[in-house]
C-alpha cells in the first residue's frame, strides 16, 4: 500500500525514545533526510512529539515520531514525559 493510500492506523509507527539530549532528534532528521525536529545543545528542546509520515523501504508507509526526553523535570517536564509515554503506547517499534 502506498503512503498516500495508507490510513495512519495501518502505518508502522516508529518512536524514538530516551533521555534529553541523547540525539533522538538528530537521528530522526538523519533517517528522514529532512530537518523534522529542532536540534540544539539545550536539554529539553523537543517539548512535544513530532511526527513525519514517509515511505521506508522495505517496510512501506511509516510514521516516525520524535519525543521529549524521559528524564525531563519540573511540572512542564512531567507533562512532556506523559506525552512521550502516550506515544510509546501507540508505537509499533521503539528506538
- pLDDT, tens digit, for every residue of 1-56? 555 566 666 899 999 999 999 999 999 999 999 999 999 998 988 999 999 999 99
**pLDDT score for 10:** 84
CATH classification (class only), 8-94: alpha beta
* Beta strands, E only, 5-95: 12-16, 50-56, 60-66, 93-94
**Sequence-distant (≥ 6) Cβ neighbours of residue 62 within 8 angstroms:** 11, 12, 13, 14, 53, 54, 55, 56
Q: What is the structure's pLDDT at 24?
A: 96
- Name the grid cell of 82: 506523559
| Domain boundary assignment for the chain | 8-94
Q: How many other C-beta atoms lie within 10 A of the C-beta of residue 8?
A: 10
> Quick one: pLDDT at residue 8?
63
Please tell me the predicted confidence (pLDDT) of residue 79. 94
Amino acid at each position: 500500500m502506498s503512503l498516500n493510500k495508507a490510513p495512519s492506523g495501518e502505518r508502522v509507527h516508529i518512536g524514538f525514545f530516551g533521555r534529553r539530549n541523547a540525539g533522538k532528534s538528530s537521528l530522526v532528521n538523519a533517517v528522514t533526510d529532512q530537518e523534522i525536529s529542532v536540534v540544539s545543545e539545550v536539554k529539553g528542546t523537543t517539548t512535544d512529539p513530532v511526527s513525519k509520515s514517509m515511505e521506508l523501504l522495505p517496510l512501506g508507509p511509516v510514521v516516525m515520531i520524535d519525543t521529549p526526553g524521559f528524564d525531563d523535570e519540573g511540572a512542564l517536564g512531567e507533562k512532556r514525559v506523559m506525552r512521550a509515554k502516550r506515544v510509546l503506547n501507540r508505537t509499533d517499534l521503539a528506538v
